[in-house]
Chain A
Amino acid sequence: MNPPDPGQHDPKQEGSAFEYVAGTLSPEERADYERMLDTSAEERARVAFWQEQLLELDLRTPAREPRPSSWNAIANHIQARKAGRAGPSPFAWLGWLSSALAGLLLLAVFFGPLKNTTPNTDYIAVLTDNEGQAVLTALTTASDSRMWLKWEAQQDDAAEEDDSALQLWAISKRDGQVRSLAVFEKGQQLSEMPLNEANFRLVSDSSFLLLTREEAGGSAIDEPSDELIARGVCVRFGGDS
């Protein structure tokens, strides 16, 4: 909301921030800039400045009544995600958190023997299905740039008749965007995988991880499908660094 510190004025970066908000960066430039946003509070401040200032133009835009079906579509979407959870309590989200905390305890059991091989565990997410059953536990270790995966259940039931894949996504705390972390082809249940720097940042910046079922090869539109398999809060866990 405040202007960026004039002492940090950098015309090139100012221009990139402006074009990011205006939407004129090329897809490649935008991807590069988003990677920078993941790590730079200064860049996020620049973007926030322009978003706040240019909002004034949006405020002058005439309202346009949405279709009557739009709210129902939104309500159906969020109900579908809530379906099967523990009742209609407005605090149902605590189920996700309690699952994650339970997962932290379980880790001591499941991964305890691996302590020497999973040093500097940084982030963990216990992904549970709509009934609160753990499906996948994911841990990252900064020291060796890996993600460790513990699959709690086979996920091939619905995939037996067609070619589908599971895809792991991270929901950014910063901008709310959902970004892909990995695609697991049918029957592929990796126990670990390398994480490049960009993916490590995605995890460290994420509020939740999602696991969805997608077509073989992963989502063609780079967005999660409605077939949510599991979801889990991503929390910082231990870490020596």
Chain B
Amino acid sequence: MDAKDEELVKLLERCALKDEAALKQLYDQLGPWLNGVAFRILKSAELSNDVLQEAFVQVWNNAASYRPEKAKPLTWICSILRYRALDRLDKEKKHQDRRVEDEDLHALDNYASTENVEHAVQGSEMNQHLSDCLQAIGDRLGTCIKLAYLYGYSREEIASHFSSPVNTVKSWLRRGSEKLRECLETKL
């Protein structure tokens, strides 16, 4: 565990003791980045701020259940936010017809390499390995995975984009994840 993770773990430990100043420190350090993640999925400043608030309240309420040996602090916190954002997206989708946007497709390139990486959170070298593996599994499988993970697109929405059956997309996602895991494990 690096120094940055250790600092976050200590802040979570203080949150478990209901130290509000620790939550504020977490918010100051991670709030802008987490809001960016929520905005990426929800594409709404109002919704992303709502989800950010919900996520920090959940971090506060559940800090005592965080186990450093099970997950890195950033992973634990970001997962809380992502599942909140995905839940909210599901609710919003009931009221709208969503299609894969060109802007999202163009932005996928930003996630394909370490160029233009946002260093605000880690402030250190990024892991190039995932990018390499996403490229190695092929353009279509990699695009499917990124559209789903980065923007919360459903199988149906991805299928519509590729003009393919939904079951085909499901199979792409599963095959893609298997290839990705194999690739990732070679370098772990």
State whether the Cβ of A40 lies closer than 8 Å to any Cβ in chain B: no
Interface set, chain B 50-93, CB cutoff 8 A to A: 52-53, 56-62, 64-65, 70-72, 74-75, 78-80, 82-83, 86, 89-91
Task: Tally inter-chain residue pairs, CB-CB below 8 A.
Answer: 185
Pick from A15-23, A121-129, A130-138 the stretch touching chain B: A15-23
Interface status of B184 (Cβ within 8 A of chain A): yes
Instruction: Report yes or no: B72 in contact with A52, Cβ–Cβ below 8 A.
Output: yes
Interface size on A, residues (CB 8 A): 59
Expressed in whole angstroms, the Cα–Cα distance for A158 and B93 within the complex equals 35
Instruction: Report whether A70 and B49 are in contact in the complex, using a CB–CB cutoff of 8 Å.
Output: yes
Closest residue of chain A to B128 (Cβ to Cβ) is A56
Residue of B nearest to A25 (CB): B155
Docked-complex contact B65 and A207, CB < 8 angstroms: yes
**Among residues 3 to 54 in chain A, which have CB atoms less than 8 Å away from a CB atom of chain B?**
3, 6, 11, 14-15, 18-19, 21-24, 26-27, 44, 48-54
Does B177 contact A18, Cβ atoms closer than 8 Å?
yes
Contact A51 B178 (CB under 8 A): no
Which residue of chain A lies nearest to B113 when distances are taken between CB atoms in the complex?
A60
Contact with A along B113-126 (1 / 0, CB 8 A): 01011101110001
CA distance A64 to B129 in the complex (A): 26
- Determine if A78 and B130 form an interchain contact, defined as CB atoms under 8 angstroms apart: no
Asked if B35 and A27 sit within 8 Å, CB to CB, the answer is no
Number of chain B residues whose Cβ lies closer than 8 Å to a Cβ of chain A: 78
A51 touches B181 (CB 8 A): no
Q: Is the CB of A11 within 8 A of B178?
A: yes
Residues on B with C-beta less than 8 A from A63 are 32-33, 35-36, 118, 120-121
Q: Which of B53, B116, B126 contacts A74 (CB 8 A)?
A: B53
- Contact assessment for B174 and A53 in the assembled complex, using a CB-CB cutoff below 8 Å: no
B185 in the interface (beta carbon within 8 A): yes
Give the shortest distance, in Å, between A14 (CB) and chain B (any CB). 6
CB closest residue in chain B, given A45: B70
The answer to the question of A177 belonging to the interface, with a C-beta cut-off of 8 Å to chain B, is: yes
Within the complex, what minimum Cβ distance (angstroms) separates A173 from chain B?
5
Distance to closest chain B CB from A20 (angstroms): 9
- A56 touching B126 by the CB < 8 A rule? yes
Q: Does B98 contact A (CB under 8 A)?
A: no
* Residue in A3, A53, A58, A74 whose CB lies within 8 Å of B57: A74
Residues of B within 8 A of A191 (CB): none
Listed in ascending order, the chain A residues whose CB lies under 8 Å from chain B are 1-3, 6, 11, 14-15, 18-19, 21-24, 26-27, 44, 48-67, 69-71, 73-75, 77-78, 82, 90-93, 171-177, 207-208, 221
A-B contacts, 28 listed (Cβ < 8 Å): A1-B71, A3-B185, A14-B178, A15-B178, A18-B174, A18-B177, A19-B148, A19-B170, A19-B177, A22-B177, A24-B155, A48-B75, A51-B79, A52-B75, A53-B184, A57-B130, A58-B82, A60-B116, A61-B37, A62-B120, A63-B32, A63-B36, A70-B52, A75-B24, A91-B18, A171-B61, A171-B62, A221-B91
Give 18 new A-B contacts, CB below 8 A, not counting A24-B155, A51-B78, A64-B36: A22-B145, A23-B149, A23-B152, A44-B70, A53-B184, A54-B149, A56-B126, A56-B127, A59-B117, A62-B118, A64-B32, A65-B35, A66-B52, A70-B35, A71-B24, A77-B57, A91-B18, A174-B65
